[in-house]
Structure 1
Amino acid sequence: MTCAEALVRMLESMGVTHVFGIPGAKIDAVFIALLDSKIKLVVCRHEQNAAFMAATMGRLTGRVGVCLVTSGPGVSNLTTGLLTATSEGSPVLAIGGEVPLADRLKQTHQSFDGVSVLRPVTKFAAEVVTPGELGDILGNAVRAAESGRPGSAFLSLPKDIGLAPFEGEIPPSLGRPLKQGPGALSEIEKAAALINASTKPVILLGMLSSDSRDQRAVQDFVRGTSFSYVSTFQGAGKWAGPEERTQFGGRVGIFSNQPGDRLLQDSDCVITVGYDPIEYDTSLWNSTRTGSLIAIDVIPSDQDRNFLPHAEIVGDLSASLDLLLPLLGKTKFAPDYRDSVAKADTELAEIASVGARYSGFPVHPLRVIHELSQVVTDRTTLALDIGSMYIWMGRYFPAKFPRQFLISNGQQTLGVALPSAIAANIARPDSPIISLSGDGGFLFSAAELETARRIGSRFVHLIWDSGSYDMVAFQEEAHYGGRTAGITLGQIDVVAFAAAFGCRGVQINHPDELAPALREALASTVPVIINIPIDYSGNLALMEEVHEAALQ
């Protein structure tokens, strides 16, 4: 058995079901080994997209998604995907080929120190230089990717090591997941005392709160305390709270002007759960507020003058929440406490209701959101790209179950939606998949439509077409007196483009065409691309008081 064959056996023992990648001479031994494996190989069109797909598998399954690429540019093309995975808390194992050991320091074909390049964007990066250490490095890479706040790991495999004989047995517990206990009891008790002394507590749910493995504990905590709560774009959404009474104040992020932001500012005790500052800068919501701050997370928080918790509970989220909840007494809420969250809920509902009444063309964002709300069920997975669309959706489209929304909220990486849709269709084969992007982000990864068609993926992709990089445009307008630069894009024939890949394309020419197009597309056996000319004329309001501007 060669090291390449042993590597595949090890991945099988860890439960890996799919590998996403692009072959090449330095890594072809692993590709050949996959021929005799039950692991399914998905050949992609770009290494960055392979990393995006692996990240989606990791995010939805909780175990590492795996991508496999060749040396040189194959490895360097992983950088954005692995950076995004680490920022978004998605466990990924990337395996890259390398020139033979004797050529590592030579200026030879595709020689490249991938470990040094990828180390800053991963949680672990190492090269296998002897056959005996293959299992050790692989196990450490997987444990690093999956432990604490998940992220990416990189294993470099020189060509001659891949072809070398593997001695010994496959370790039986390689990469075994680690289970944390709850945070320190002293910190839990300190947090309970601070919460019990408060009259306006607010919970801020961050990215890790949306993990399905913590769903029960998060829901028990929200319901058991009856506290108001808000969510980041990646955090547990409205599903975390009860249906019968109002606790949810909406999502917060990007700009500090939402109803949920007012709840945070008015709170005398904010409790963050699984929150990472990369989701929503601490300076935007915690630099001027007074009151206590409690952080509940799986890793210690970075020292930040705008985020210095008075109590910090570091450990397994479910275990920590389960210990904290019984220590909380019956809170004496301030007289206006319930009114504040009810007002926030009403404002968000009023904005969403306006969408049905927009009949102009190009289509208003809220009209698209309204039509989506008519077809999205509690089984539908939504994969969002980055752009103005992501802000509108993040604010006004509620999540109904854990990780229903797949978003790049930390790095805000363009091009993630379509590859995420392909992987989501693999991880959740019984879930309808809808992905969304702007016209700019769509072409970042549209070549993967061929991949989707080849492997039989089914999803609907909505393009919010503005002919521009609009998220950049409206911020430039605000900052530079109405001037913009570098934001104009040309048009493509989406119907013809989709057809070229064996998919279906639909061009929307009136808002009333959207509803039937969505229903028909969801029943399609091939990917469907729906192009929607979008009206972003009011987007400057996204940086202002959207809840007032959208109602005018």
Structure 2
Amino acid sequence: MKVAEAVGRALHAAGVDHVFGVVGSGNFHLTNAMVAAGARFVAAPPSWRAATMADAYARTSGKVAALSVHQGPGLTNAVTGVAEAAKSRTPLLVLAAEVTRPTSNFYVDQEALAHAVGAVTARVTSAENAVEQACAAVGRALHERRTVLLNMPLEVQALEVPDDASALAAPPPERAAVEPTAADVAALAQVLERSRRPVFVAGRGSRGPGCRAALTALAERYGALLATSAVARGLFRGDPWSLDVSGGFASPLAAELISAADVIVGWGCALNMWTTRHGRLIGPRTTVVQVDDDASALGTHRDVHLGVTGDVRLTARRVLEAGAGRQEGYRTAERAAAIAARVRLRDVPYEDMSSRERIDPRTLTIALDDILPAERVIGVDSGNFMGYPSTYLSVPDHHGFCFTQAFQSIGLGLATAIGAALARPDRLPVAALGDGGALMSAAELDTVRRLGLPMVVVVYNDDAYGAEVHHFGPEGHALDTVRFPPTDIAAVARGYGFEGVTVRTIADLKAVQDWLTGPRSAPLLVDAKVAGDRGSWWLEEAFRGH
């Protein structure tokens, strides 16, 4: 058995059951070996979108996923998707064929390329150690929550593996939960006991098993309100004290209550500029606590009064055990009534900008929220529109929202929805895109159709790069470079085998209802001609912070 085959088999034995990518000569044997061992291969050109599919699959499934790419341009083409995964600390394994001769036209410094976007690297160096090195890369991705580039030199791939080498393949042990110190537990309990208006903000580190139960029990003890960062949206779905998302996507009531908190605890949450509206949601006298199982994450984005190194679930449980008594905190009957009536953005009155030719994106999204099944998984692209699906479309839980926005690249939304759909085949996948991102990723419509996914793709089509229009337009700048002639994106989708409908008014959404009640034998694209009269509120917040 050659190294390429042995490594492919070992990776599947180590728990990698999905591999995404584009196959060329350098990764042909490795990819085929993974498929032969039982992994599912998802072909998705170009490779940067394959990287995003793998990223979304890993986030939604909780498993390490793999991206397989050709040497040189296969990896350089994937860099945008790899950067998103690396910046998000997604456990992802990038399997890259490698040429080591600088005179080869395929040669690039692949290690330097990976490090430049925040990934870490490993290399298969010999036939004797190939299986062990590959499994170690899987373990590192899992235990350190990192995107790992595993370089596979072509000359090493072709070597013969010793007969006993494949016996070393095995799944890595589960990541050990970090126990907080007794002193940190006591300090956090003391902060909460003194608080009168505490707010918990849960982030990516709170998405693990048992975290919701531990956090809601602790919040009940101290009367805390509950919020999440965007990537953990849905974690507290159904809790009467949930404020939904903190930051730019927060409703006016949620922003008011968070900014009035006397204690904010970030649980596995970076408390970055997006989650805190560039710090404006944190009052000048608010005590800020951050809990994270990675000590290097504490205080990275802002100063904190108390940093606790520990697993979210364990830390919440230990503080609950250490505390005494109960307190009302922020949970009063008056606030409960306000949260029930006004915490959802759809319950906040607005001036409907719809006309006979253009539908207000808020009106569109509220209607879609009522039409689409509750059991859904949503992937969102970047752009002026993105706040509408990210807030007005409800999700059943934190596995229902995949938000690949750490790098803020337009064009990742459809690939995100595909990866999430493969991880949750029990839910209706919904991709929310702007027209710019939809046209950038049109080739992925073929992937959706080829995979047979019963997906709904909603395109918020304002015939422009809306973020730039609303940022630069008010200052009188020429906008010809960011406005485009009208495009019939529904017709483009029909060319790929979709059902395509154009929506200008609420009445046009009957076609979506008809699709939902039908056989769903082909995916559906909704080309929504949205009103672009003004910028979105979340983007105004973002630009105000720069």
What TM-score comes out, normalization by structure 2 length? 0.89
Please list the CA deviations of residues 198-241 of structure 1 after superposition, one character each: whole Å capped at 9, or x if unmatched: 11111112223234563433443444544112222112436355
Query: Which residue is 1:382 aligned to?
Result: 378
1:292 aligns with 2:320: no
Q: Is the 8 A contact 1:477 1:484 kept in 2?
A: yes
User: Which structure 2 residues correspond to residues 46-195 of structure 1 after superposition, within 5 A?
Assistant: 46-99=46-99, 104-148=100-144, 150-167=145-162, 168-195=165-192
User: Which structure 2 residues correspond to residues 430-449 of structure 1 after superposition, within 5 A?
Assistant: 430-449=426-445
Provide structure 1 residue ranges, at least 5 long, that are not aligned to the other structure: 547-552
1:494 aligns with 2:496: no
Query: Which residue is 2:512 aligned to?
Result: 517
**Amino acid across the alignment from 2:438:** F
Where 1:132 maps in the other structure, the secondary structure is coil
Please list the CA deviations of residues 113-159 of structure 1 after superposition, one character each: whole Å capped at 9, or x if unmatched: 211101232442122222233234323322332225x3311111011
Greater CA deviation, 252-261 or 134-143?
252-261
Q: Is the 8 A contact 2:270 2:301 kept in 1?
A: no
Distance 2:27 2:466 in 1: 40
Deviation at 1:295, TM superposition (A): 1.0
1:532 aligns with 2:528: yes
User: Which structure 2 residues correspond to residues 77-476 of structure 1 after superposition, within 5 A?
Assistant: 77-99=77-99, 104-148=100-144, 150-167=145-162, 168-211=165-208, 214-237=211-234, 239-240=236-237, 242=239, 246-254=240-248, 258-278=252-272, 280=274, 283-285=278-280, 289-302=284-297, 304=299, 307-330=302-325, 332-333=327-328, 339=334, 342-343=337-338, 346-349=341-344, 351-352=346-347, 354=349, 360-361=355-356, 362-476=358-472
Provide structure 2 residue ranges, at least 5 long, that are not aligned to the other structure: none
Q: 1:210–1:499: structure 2 CA closer, same or farther, 3 Å change rule?
A: same
Deviation at 1:462, TM superposition (A): 0.4
Distance 2:158 2:370 in 1: 54
User: Which structure 2 residues correspond to residues 29-44 of structure 1 after superposition, within 5 A?
Assistant: 29-34=29-34, 36-44=36-44
Q: 1:466–1:259: structure 2 CA closer, same or farther, 3 Å change rule?
A: same
Q: Is the 8 A contact 1:93 1:153 kept in 2?
A: yes
**Amino acid across the alignment from 1:52:** T
Where 1:389 maps in the other structure, the secondary structure is coil
Query: Which residue is 1:18 aligned to?
Result: 18
Question: Number of matched residues?
Answer: 537
Q: Is the 8 A contact 1:207 1:236 kept in 2?
A: no
Deviation at 1:5, TM superposition (A): 0.9
**Amino acid across the alignment from 1:206:** G
Q: Is the 8 A contact 2:94 2:148 kept in 1?
A: yes
Q: 1:467–1:359: structure 2 CA closer, same or farther, 3 Å change rule?
A: closer
**Amino acid across the alignment from 2:53:** M
Distance 1:74 1:346 in 2: 51
Q: 1:166–1:335: structure 2 CA closer, same or farther, 3 Å change rule?
A: closer
Q: 1:483–1:178: structure 2 CA closer, same or farther, 3 Å change rule?
A: same
Greater CA deviation, 199-208 or 117-126?
117-126
Cα RMSD between the aligned structures? 2.9
Distance 2:430 2:310 in 1: 34
Q: 1:223–1:142: structure 2 CA closer, same or farther, 3 Å change rule?
A: farther
Q: Is the 8 A contact 1:199 1:331 kept in 2?
A: no
State percent identity of aligned pairs: 20
Q: Is the 8 A contact 2:135 2:169 kept in 1?
A: no
Q: Is the 8 A contact 2:435 2:462 kept in 1?
A: yes
**Amino acid across the alignment from 1:312:** G
Distance 2:473 2:249 in 1: 16
Q: Is the 8 A contact 2:251 2:343 kept in 1?
A: no
Distance 2:83 2:139 in 1: 18
Q: 1:11–1:238: structure 2 CA closer, same or farther, 3 Å change rule?
A: closer
Where 2:94 maps in the other structure, the secondary structure is strand
Distance 2:347 2:134 in 1: 48
Distance 2:372 2:219 in 1: 25
Deviation at 1:513, TM superposition (A): 1.2
Distance 2:526 2:386 in 1: 17
Distance 2:46 2:512 in 1: 30
Distance 1:14 1:543 in 2: 42
What TM-score comes out, normalization by structure 1 length? 0.88
Where 1:146 maps in the other structure, the secondary structure is helix
Q: Is the 8 A contact 1:506 1:530 kept in 2?
A: yes
